[in-house]
Amino acid sequence: MPIRVLIVDDSAFIRDVLAALIARDPELAVVGVAQDPYEARDKIRALDPDVITLDVEMPNMNGIAFLERLMRLRPIPVVMVSTLTQKGADVTVLALELGAVDVVPKPIDGGEQAWEALGADLRAKIHAAATVRPVARPPVPRTAAAAPSMPGTVMHPRAIIAIGASTGGVEALRDILGRMPGDSPPIVLAQHMPAGFTARFAQRLDDTCALTVREAVAGLNLQRGMAVVAPGNRHLTVVHRDGSFQCNIDDSDAVSGHRPSIDVLFRSVAAAAGRHAIGVILTGMGKDGARGLLAMREAGGRTIGQDEATSLVYGMARAAAEIGAVESLLALDAIAARIVAEVTANAAGAV
């Protein structure tokens, strides 16, 4: 039976284009379209779709207000279709925090090739979304999390934490960073997210945790209490130079199907920090990060995977576990405490 899709967008042109692009996959079926959230509400009741594609800027009720109600009252997998504007990035990151599965950016130039690329991306993400079973959730807290200081003041100068995530990672990363002390070792993050959204994502994380979070830039020296996010559509690597870690950014080919690639980041951290690194692989589809995490473990670093029960999509962590890259599979709410314990043990010379 095909995956049943409802398209919600205020533009008739966009609705028609998305319907045509989705229809190219025989395993997908567009069962309806809606021009605003009120019509969408009625169509959901009547059609019971498996997945919804949702625009974020619509009349009568914006997509965020609709999504928040939907996730509280009748959770359905949602793929956001967003414009690459500052406003679009702001509300899309919030939508991912509220429970949207993923995001597909609308093309800026509107050319045929750009729409073809959107179609391929959208079809893949609808397939992934159909495997997700979202649960009702309360509204996202807006206040910064209170976190204790790192136990003990001694920290190995080459201690570093690398975290990779994909589908479902926005919420997972917010949870982990919100539990981390403000004086943690430097943290480097690779989240599969389109260009244009990662700066706003970093700002959202900065607003809700004790760490200083920013989008990574070339040559940035990583400091204690700092977390950096790989920029969308660019690789982030780490080098150890002149006594500190520095960020490198490059536009080389996609690795493991992604740019930024978690594999690329993890391999660089393995080389730069060896046994003083901690690697964490979180929710997401595919295998990106599995080989890189294995490189970290083989270099002596400690490695953690998010468990199946708390992963929105148990793909990347599963792939890493299957090749022996993961030392410990943990529930999401236990990961930050394990990281702190590993950093403390490392500083004491226990690892």
- pLDDT tens digits, 267-283: 999 999 999 999 999 99
Region 229-245: mean pLDDT is 94
Q: What is the mean pLDDT of the chain?
A: 89
Beta strands in the chain (DSSP E): 3-8, 28-34, 51-55, 78-82, 102-105, 160-165, 187-191, 212-215, 226-229, 235-241, 244-250, 277-281, 302-306, 328-330
Alpha-carbon gap, residue 49 to 40, rounded angstroms: 11
Which band of pLDDT confidence, cut at 50, 70 and 90, is reported for residue 314?
very high
State the first-to-last Cα distance of the chain, in angstroms, to the nearest integer: 51
pLDDT (0 to 100) of residue 143: 45
Residues annotated catalytic, as ranges: 166, 192, 288
Residue 228 burial (CB count, 10 A):
23
Which band of pLDDT confidence, cut at 50, 70 and 90, is reported for residue 98?
confident
Q: Residue 107: what residue type?
A: P
Supply the DSSP string of 137-149, one letter for each residue.
Answer: -PPPP-SPPP-PP
Taking 70 as the threshold, does the pLDDT of residue 186 lie above it? Answer: yes
Q: φ, ψ for residue 332 (rounded to 5)?
A: -55, -45
Q: List pLDDT tens digits, range 50-71.
A: 999 998 777 666 778 888 888 8
pLDDT (0 to 100) of residue 153: 47
**Which H or E element spans position 341?**
helix 332-347
Give the relative orientation of helices 37-47 and 63-73 as an angle to the nearest 10 degrees. Answer: 30
Q: List pLDDT tens digits, range 4-19.
A: 999 999 899 999 999 9
Centroid of chain to Cα 39? 30
Alpha-carbon gap, residue 278 to 119, rounded angstroms: 37
